[in-house]
Structure 1
């Protein structure tokens, strides 16, 4: 159970204290894009040092201020790179975002970039980011048939190569993107 949360003042990053864990969700919108990579887009650390009933006072830039039960303030620094990634994506600087992730070499950054790319329908960047986090099934999968597609649309989409199919699927139905459990690449 989360006791206290705070949003970053400069970008879409959320931090919270839950039980004995301090958690930072670097791209919370991942839950709407691809829930499978959500655990890869967050950072957790032990929060037992804050004693019982800590409260997040502020989240400014990459600095989080926590008030412990005894009234003392504790300052925590988080990685500055996710905020820079948010800035690049917000400006549609996809090449710079990929370059940043290659420089940082953290799975968390690549997972955030993958989710951001899908949310912004940049399939080339999404493919690079998913490959970097080892989600090769993203590139090769053929998602299940949607109930509201016509039979003709299903046939046309099913005849496309895997990558083209995935691009068309994400552009048409970004909220329904889920990995297929079928490895044969068949449309149900």
Structure 2
């Protein structure tokens, strides 16, 4: 593009064009300036378009990598949660027992779980939710692409939010001041709302798991 500008200026300055109203500013010079400006603008637009396309591509790739990392790092935790608490939404009693030490936690069949299992389950739930909160914050600040994330794991994210909603609720409202986190997982709340509006989410599957 820079070479085109130089050639345009050379050609324009070599061509003798009569002046306008006997002025000293030649039409050729004006034309050369206009051509140069147009070419420079076109070059700028091309560069901006290329940069934007590259940024979007990198954003999608970052989203894919982040989702893959969350899926891999929480696989064992999610399996353990399902094994003991089932696939449906945790109950209010289970949520309270997960949060507060000393409360009896029962599995999906109503059988009591050991203190060690309860602690491991609490860590597993925290791992899953913290990872989703980081993804949600990434979307909120523009680091991750919402559309890509919706296609990759929209249903899983919405389902996880619904599944642990009683735990999130009690975490925000518990009377135990040392445990209370009033702003816990607010970014995940927002992401789940956005995903529910999209067609990428399998609503039928979500309803089946309730």
Q: Which category describes the TM-score, using the shorter chain as reference length? A: under 0.3
Determine which structure has greater relative contact order: mean sequence separation of CA pairs < 8 Å that are 6+ residues apart, divided by chain length. Answer: 2
Larger radius of gyration: 2
Higher helix share: 2
Give the TM-score normalised by the residue count of structure 2: 0.23
Give the TM-score normalised by the residue count of structure 1: 0.25
